[in-house]
Chains A and B, each alone.
Chain A
Amino acid sequence: MTGSARRRRSDGGRSMSAATAGLESLVAAYREFAGNGAGRAPEWVRTLREAGIDGFGAMGFPTTAHEDWRFTTVAALAEGGFALATPERADAASAIPPALLGSGRFRVVFVNGRFDAGASAIEGLPEGVTVASLADVFARDASLAQTHLGRSGVHERNAFAALNTAFAADGAYVHVAPGVEIAEPIEVLFLSAPGSARTVSHPRTLLVVERLARASVVEVFAGEGTYWTNAVMEVVVGDGARADVYRVQQEGRSAYHVASTHTRQGRDSVVNVHPITLGAALARHDITAVLDGEGARCLLNGLYLGDGTQHVDHHTVIDHAKPHGESHEYFNGVLDERSRGVFAGRIIVRPGAQRTDSKQTNNNLLLSEEARADSQPQLEIYADDVKCTHGATLGPIDPKALFYLESRGLGKEEARALLTYGFGAEILERMDVPALRQRLERIIRARLLEPRR
């Protein structure tokens, strides 16, 4: 056996000191953060942060030995070297590419994790709708957020969410009072504009849609350079309410994006989450949807594109806690060159959650021999009167479909392009914000149909 063949890959080959360097420097950064300006936060926020850093310290960075991280190594993050991002210079607003801003009236913008009032637009919101930066909420009326922030417990189960919680300082806060409906989506832009150093930001979003209320939020993540976004979103939806969450991850190609989204919904409520994953060198998104009321309905409708050496990992959990719930999960991936897609979809039906109806599909289109997809459905069913289906496909363009299109007069290239685009279009069609859908159609068309760089 040769020396090179014996050399082990991934986490196994890293020295212990390298693996803990990131953890140690982050804990040190936390001590500094907690000791100065962050001290303005109310007591309960400081307690929550402590719980966050303790949880992170205890869990540490996951390795590929963890079942949930088998296919995704975060060694680059664990090795450290990411300084806490600092509020950007005053001219940051003018540097925001207009293409990233939606056409809507209401918008909150965060640059390097901090609220940018100049680029935001929150005037004229309807009565009963509050949109603010979390930093403002902490400074003024923290009780608004206290009821829900961190209550998902996401920081107790996920090291990255714990880390985000430790550094929770700013982010988007959206609250819609009972019975209030706001038709226009609220746009939330998290932009990273690091300087020469590698930085990390911990954006946090809290969306609370109270009983019989309705709102939609469009989150966009973008940036340039090498940086790490460590995001958490918590969504709480009351009885009979509806929340639509659109999430466009178009980080720079050298970026790392790790995120947790947690939704909890009440009786007869509707939650639709649309994660569109386009950017970052490494992207990992954990989504947990808890259907915590009878007759709740949930849609997870995701699309991921990969090329180059991009690595895109989605781990989802749909937790049917009460009877008569309905969930639909659709994730499509289009993977080219040497990119890799990972999808793990867990569906839990709790004891007593009878008449649950759950459907999961994950389709992966592999456009090159080197592209790879892993798909893992996981059903945990503890009730007997339920309907759960799941299906996954992976492979190149279907030759039957190709011939079908050719037999109608389409050229080979056009037919291939149409079939490829269809993987994205199928997901975009389920989105209810026409302006966003059109913007995404343009991006995806350019990405999938135009000749490579």
Chain B
Amino acid sequence: MERSEGTAMLEIRGLHASIQGNEILHGVDLTVRPGEVHAIMGPNGSGKSTLAQVLAGHPAYEVTGGTITFEGKDLLGMEPEERAREGVFLAFQYPVEIRGITNAYFLRSALNAVRKHRGLEELDPIDFLAVLEEKTKVIELDEELINRPVNDGFSGGEKKRNEILQMAVLEPKLAVLDETDSGLDIDALKTVAAAVNKLRRPDNAAILVTHYQRLLNYITPDHVHVLADGRIVRSGGKDLAHELEARGYDWLRAEAAV
């Protein structure tokens, strides 16, 4: 059963979103409170990634109805960079390679953009290096990758770990992990999960978007939601994930259609 105490960090109400004129989300409702981890599961094409992208403000998606409130502010009225500065972070399913810009330089630019927004002093390269070293240890990322161009020539696992490093450095209030488990072998999956667990705090929250239950063996969610055909068709506790693993998604789709 869902708990309902505490103030919501994120409130999604009746969200409709389309891409190129095709509506993908047909009215999604979701409430996330500080300290919570939510898993959003569902079959391919259910709209999971669309929801993640809409939260981050991807310009290709058009929101045609509903509201998203983040810490009392209208998230949909913000540019992608404002959302990031307010504390929303999307770990990309397919991280982008940035030619010529080192991970270290990129991360410092991003962190300083966020710090500036929060009224904190910008970090010089030396102070930043100290932050980075500490975070790199948490993620167990090869330090050599710090001075390589962002994601350029990284393996699939390195790219995903790099997303988690960015998350660790930027310390978002709400982290949205879009299929961070896809394409990872079991060791890489465990490392990424361990890093996410280490970064859990009572005042931040996470949404894990995933197709498979296996990530949830390592990160225990407080709530599990099933998204099918653009709607949340079932919500429950962590046991729901196990049920989905055993029964698949079709029974829920059939129920929803009734």
A410 is an interface residue with CB less than 8 A from chain B = yes
Contact A401–B98 (Cβ < 8 Å): yes
Contact A422–B149 (Cβ < 8 Å): yes
Taken together as a complex, chains A and B put the C-alpha atoms of A429 and B153 apart, in Å, by 15
B114 is an interface residue with CB less than 8 A from chain A = yes
**A contact residues, range:** 20 to 34
B-side interface residues, number (CB < 8 Å): 30
A407 is an interface residue with CB less than 8 A from chain B = yes
Taken together as a complex, chains A and B put the C-alpha atoms of A423 and B80 apart, in Å, by 24
Contact A405–B98 (Cβ < 8 Å): yes
Contact B81–A410 (Cβ < 8 Å): yes
Contact B59–A407 (Cβ < 8 Å): no
Chain A interface residues toward B at CB < 8 A? 363, 398-401, 403-412, 414-415, 418-419, 421-427, 429
Contact B99–A423 (Cβ < 8 Å): yes
Binding site secondary structure of chain A: helix
- Contact partner of B98 (CB less than 8 A), chosen from A409, A419, A427, is A419
Residues of B contacting A403 with CB < 8 Å? 56, 58-59, 80
Contact B84–A418 (Cβ < 8 Å): no
Chain B interface residues toward A at CB < 8 A? 56-59, 79-81, 83-85, 89-90, 92, 95-101, 106, 109-111, 113-114, 117, 149, 166, 170
Residues of B contacting A425 with CB < 8 Å? 100-101
Contact A404–B96 (Cβ < 8 Å): yes
Contact A409–B117 (Cβ < 8 Å): yes
- Contact partner of A409 (CB less than 8 A), chosen from B92, B99, B114, is B114
Residue among A407, A423, A426 having the largest count of chain B Cβ atoms under 10 Å: A407
Contact A407–B114 (Cβ < 8 Å): no
A-B contact pairs, 21 of them (CB 8 A): A363-B99, A404-B95, A404-B96, A405-B110, A406-B84, A407-B57, A407-B84, A407-B89, A407-B90, A407-B92, A408-B166, A409-B113, A410-B81, A411-B81, A411-B113, A412-B79, A412-B81, A414-B109, A418-B101, A421-B101, A426-B100
- Contact partner of A422 (CB less than 8 A), chosen from B84, B101, B117, is B101
Contact A407–B109 (Cβ < 8 Å): no
Residues of A contacting B97 with CB < 8 Å? 401
| Nearest chain A residue, comparing its CB with the CB of B90 | A407
Contact B100–A409 (Cβ < 8 Å): no
* Contacts A399-B59, A408-B84, A409-B85 given; does A418 touch B106 at CB 8 Å: yes
Closest A-B pairs by Cβ, 10 of them: A422-B100, A426-B100, A425-B100, A409-B84, A409-B113, A408-B110, A406-B80, A404-B96, A422-B101, A406-B81
